[in-house]
Chains A and B, each alone.
Chain A
Amino acid sequence: MNLALPENKIPILRHAVMTGLLVVVLLLPALAETPTQQQPKAVALVKLAPPHIADIPNDDKGKQILLGRRLLADTKKLLPNNVGAELNCDSCHLNGGNVPFASPYLGMSVNYPRDNPRAGRSVTLEERVNGCLLRSMNGKALPIDSPEMKAMIAYFNWLSAGLPRNAKVEGAGIGKVDNNLVPDPIHGKELYEAKCAECHGTNGEGLKNARNEFVFPPLWGAESFNIGAGMARTYTSAAFIKNNMPIAHGLNAPLGQGGALSDQDAVDVAEYFTHQPRPDFPPKVKDWPNGGKPKDSRY
């Protein structure tokens, strides 16, 4: 609080810097104990502290940000020509992309363009969004300069406002599980039926409400993501499951998400559900042109 920040700086920046400093201070003892420091410098993690939607200004920019948010939350309905699956962006990027290890949108704007081994080159944020539309949503790409793409990018930018270039955000990505764990799909099926089926359906068909709208996404079948999606990979999916599933499990905000399964259980259930029938992805032949294909790739 006694840092002399210019008053015209927006609160998020102050917040980010403060938490970043705090994390560095907390990390210092751990670093001191490391005999040989592998990393040349300490990476300051920025706390995942999203700005509040209630603070979005009531102007044209604000309208664009809110449109972007709506498109991400209600993608299938608003972009039916671009989404093949019965999924929304928020089906994986939970709760408007503000959940740690549910691949939060916060921070993405300052980390793209970035290298993408699957593409074998650097990709822009717009290209990454289209990657999701093609694979995770089994659909078609959006024009880069379409108002919808611009609106989504505007929402990402608003979430990341004030973050420095390449800022490491706490809870970025989906976390990790040990990919040496050997999956047991039989146990995975048992777990799925006990812990997942209530919301995602015994046959992975998802759950609709009385208005026939999906409230829990289909996990396999024609209406789910194709084999080109990162979520189709056992260990990627397991990390997501461990950190995020089920929601409404604990008292932790914002969703009470995750913490229900061990790494092994998460690997088992991921192996089971990812390997159920799902759409193919013909352009898969172009993936990993420079090698480095992960062992849980589906092709």
Chain B
Amino acid sequence: MARQMLNAKSKSLMAKLYWCCACLVLAATAARAETAPTADSVERGSYLARAADCVACHTAPGGKEFAGGLPMPTPLGRIYSTNITPDRETGIGSYSVEDFTRAVREGVAKDGHYLYPAMPFPAYAKISDADIQLLYAYFQHGVAPVKHANWPSDIPFPLSVRFPLFFWDMFVRRGPFQPNASQDAQWNRGAYLVQGLGHCGTCHSPRALTLHTKALTERDGPAFLAGAVIDGWYAKSLRGDKDGLGQWSEADIVTFLKTGITDSTAAFGDMAEVVQHSTQYLTDDDLAAIARYLKSLPGHQKEPAVAAGAHTASSANDDHPTRGSAAYDEFCVTCHRADGGGVTHIFPALAGNDVVETAEATSLVHIVLSGGRRPRTTARPNPFAMPAFKTLDDREVAEIVTYIRTAWGNSASPVTAEQVAKIRATLTEAEATE
């Protein structure tokens, strides 16, 4: 623990040193930054904002782009994303590039208050100076100003006092991106995008009890991108685990991020939005770099994710169907087919699908209950949807899910009605009522 703290402290010191250097560089270029940037800078900044998926959080449903107001539930109450349009009064129009840098990388607003760590600043700290400049150019000159005052959080006093975030902040491991000299440029580009702008670890890396992300880079150990439950979904492992990306090729990853689907699977839940708003816009080179980097992350030696030999519900040769296979036939078979093979590019296969087979059945149960839409992308403009089966009771859902986890050679552990009830309780208001 002490070592960890020391480590955190030294990283914090490094961050401060880095910060000073960055300030010097920025001060030297301040005069230039004040003048209007080139159209090319704004365009490149726009691409980086896509890569960072700023729009996902900083736009409310039906609201103006980047004007904030998206409610985000926290254990203490709801907080709302902020207006990051260049409106001088309500947005970030009065931010200097230094103010902007501090907010993005350090999580400190212009007036000195600490941002809630829903803002992934520990990841954004990895964004290079050059890219910060381009992002600043875009948000000042490429985004239309919108007058829209930020909403206060629903967090009650005294918990709403933000000063303690300073202490939380002290223990954030952070630091600029550190290239790995033993790897080539493509790998390093992938690492930079995944760790920084892409902030993949914000969902896909497990968090400590203090809610700090346990690992921010591959150097921080096997917890990095090892998968985590967040907002009622299981953000899968992006490492070489069997239920991670172990069965994915680099080409699969590129296709998935570009189109929202592969031959046999599809993005769903929050990832559908990530693909729709962010990754589909990335260049093929950047996507290839991300795939290369992710595929370099080894899986865990033990394979706790899949419980071997749990063929409890298999019924292929039985005369009479089990309850699970009968329910599958009634509710799932039209799209996912009797052999669990789905339909290429249209309906995901369930046989051999790592989302189905993972020990962490949260996402599987969640999507059965809530349904979901796959992303609408330029490459795949018809966003096929999975209907919601929330009217089925916990037992029926457990029977279906257990069946698909054990049929067609799948071998995952059964799911109980109690587990379904717990996951049902995490559905959002919209999911539960839509």
Contact = CB atoms under 8 A, between A and B. Distances in A.
- Listed from nearest, the 5 A-B pairs whose CB atoms lie closest are A54-B326, A256-B387, A251-B371, A54-B323, A53-B326
A62 B341 contact: no
Contacts of A253: 331, 371, 387-389, 391
Given A54-B330, A56-B326, A209-B337, A195 B382 contact: yes
A255 B326 contact: no
Given A251-B387, A253-B388, A256-B387, A53 B343 contact: no
Interface stretch (A136-144, A164-172, A182-190, A242-250): A242-250
Contact of A210 (B319, B341, B391): B341
A84 to B, nearest CB: 23
Contacts of B333: 73
A96 B385 contact: no
7 contacts: A52-B396, A54-B326, A95-B330, A198-B382, A199-B346, A251-B370, A251-B372
Interface of A: 52-54, 56, 58, 62-63, 66, 73, 90, 94-96, 98, 195, 198-199, 207, 209-211, 215-216, 246-256
B387 A53 contact: no
Looking at B371, B385, B399, the one whose CB has the most chain A CB atoms below 10 A away is B385
Given A94-B334, A253-B387, A54 B399 contact: yes
Contacts of A216: 343
B387 A54 contact: no
Contact of A248 (B319, B323, B326, B335): B335
B427 interface: no
Contacts of A250: 385, 387
Contacts of B434: 251
B321 interface: yes
Interface residues of B, number: 35
A298 B329 CA distance: 36
A66 B347 CA distance: 25
B320 interface: yes
A254 B387 contact: yes
Interface in B340-396: 341, 343-344, 346-347, 370-373, 382, 384-389, 391, 396
A142 B434 CA distance: 44
A251 B326 contact: no
Contact of B387 (A94, A96, A255): A255
A95 B327 CA distance: 12
A86 B306 CA distance: 40
A53 B341 contact: no
- By secondary structure, the B interface counts as mixed
Looking at A54, A62, A95, A249, the one whose CB has the most chain B CB atoms below 10 A away is A54
A47 B172 CA distance: 56
B329 A251 contact: no
B347 A58 contact: no
Nearest to B370: A251
Contacts of A199: 346
Contacts of A207: 343
A248 B388 contact: no
A178 to B, nearest CB: 27
A101 to B, nearest CB: 15
Given A53-B326, A215-B337, A249-B385, 10 more contacts: A52-B396, A63-B320, A90-B334, A94-B334, A209-B344, A248-B384, A250-B385, A251-B372, A255-B335, A255-B387
A246 B329 CA distance: 20
A256 B382 contact: no
B385 A53 contact: no
Contact of B346 (A198, A254, A255): A198
Contact of B334 (A95, A210, A211): A95
Nearest to A249: B385
A247 B327 contact: no
Contacts of B386: 248, 251, 256
Looking at A58, A198, A251, A254, the one whose CB has the most chain B CB atoms below 10 A away is A251
